[in-house]
Copies of this chain bind each other. A is one copy, B any other.
């Protein structure tokens, strides 16, 4: 098999030295980590600070990634490059100029909405989706200018299609699966997936149980067969991994992710009253040491080494190279 970077384009773990060492043990080259769900700008700065603390404490395991070349540096150094992203535009508040400030601080992905309506776009749990807002159009232009990637993982159908259309640069859906395989509000229609692939964007496949057929019992074979079918739909160069791994998180965190400060009532999101917490990940993907299972599962579907290498990281690296700098 050819040498390849291993890139997971979405994790939100309860970070610790243990997990950073597992990343190294698993040969993970780069991870896109969420550093804001509902935080405003000032709160997000505290999250940048917390990562600076970890970079100082664990320089042999991790460093801050800013460019595609940092993925190559991580491979050479045998460390993991950490790329920052927001799952909501809350860090830019109502100020388009915060897009550049956040990019300077290292943000590389920003979702235009997280389940709910935002100032920019509609989330996948809203009953109505009026599409990209006036401010959303302006912010898409600014994100294109500075090199902050539009991520529509938690957005609704029309908003997503419009974002693909309006953006001058390819966008990402960092962590979701096709609805044809498992219908869920968070999974994506064939129309969205086709438009994403045709525009040069990339989809990251999620291993979060609520996005999987049979949830925690989903088999590796079924998961990899789904990837192979999506490769047929989108092309093998437009897909990658975005596990949505939420390792070692207490259930209080999933409540923050779902409810933030927007409701006084509990909202169970993809869970339910009987199943309110983080669901257990499937047995073949419990953490950063298990990516080899996915690669093996992909080869078992009949994919060649080049296709598998692309899905496991090469496709994201090409996307990083093209996306994180100023517009040409």
In the complex, whether A95 has a CB less than 8 A from a CB of chain B is yes
For A105, the chain B residues whose CB sits under 8 A away are 101, 104-105
Given contacts A104-B105, A104-B106, contact A95 B49 (CB under 8 A): yes
Q: Return the CB mask of A80-115 against B: 1 if under 8 Å, else 0.
A: 000000000000000101101100111000000000
> How many residues from A make CB contacts under 8 Å with B?
15
Please, could you name 15 A-B residue pairs with CB atoms under 8 Å apart, sorted by A?
A41-B42, A42-B42, A45-B101, A48-B101, A49-B95, A49-B97, A49-B98, A49-B100, A49-B101, A52-B97, A52-B101, A53-B97, A104-B104, A104-B105, A105-B105
For A52, the chain B residues whose CB sits under 8 A away are 97, 100-101
Extra inter-chain contacts (7) besides given A42-B42, A45-B98, A52-B100, CB under 8 Å: A41-B42, A41-B45, A49-B95, A52-B97, A52-B101, A101-B105, A104-B105
For A48, the chain B residues whose CB sits under 8 A away are 101
The smallest C-beta distance from A293 to any residue of chain B, in angstroms, reads: 37
Given the complex of chains A and B, what is the CA–CA distance between A187 and B283 in angstroms?
70
For A106, the chain B residues whose CB sits under 8 A away are 104
The smallest C-beta distance from A132 to any residue of chain B, in angstroms, reads: 23
- For the complex of A and B, 6 pairs with smallest distance between CB atoms: A49-B97, A52-B100, A104-B105, A42-B42, A45-B101, A48-B101
Q: Return the CB mask of A33-46 against B: 1 if under 8 Å, else 0.
A: 00000000110010
For A53, the chain B residues whose CB sits under 8 A away are 97
The smallest C-beta distance from A319 to any residue of chain B, in angstroms, reads: 24
Given the complex of chains A and B, what is the CA–CA distance between A100 and B104 in angstroms?
12
Residue of B nearest to A55 (CB): B100
For A98, the chain B residues whose CB sits under 8 A away are 45, 49
The smallest C-beta distance from A324 to any residue of chain B, in angstroms, reads: 16
The smallest C-beta distance from A91 to any residue of chain B, in angstroms, reads: 12
For A45, the chain B residues whose CB sits under 8 A away are 41, 98, 101
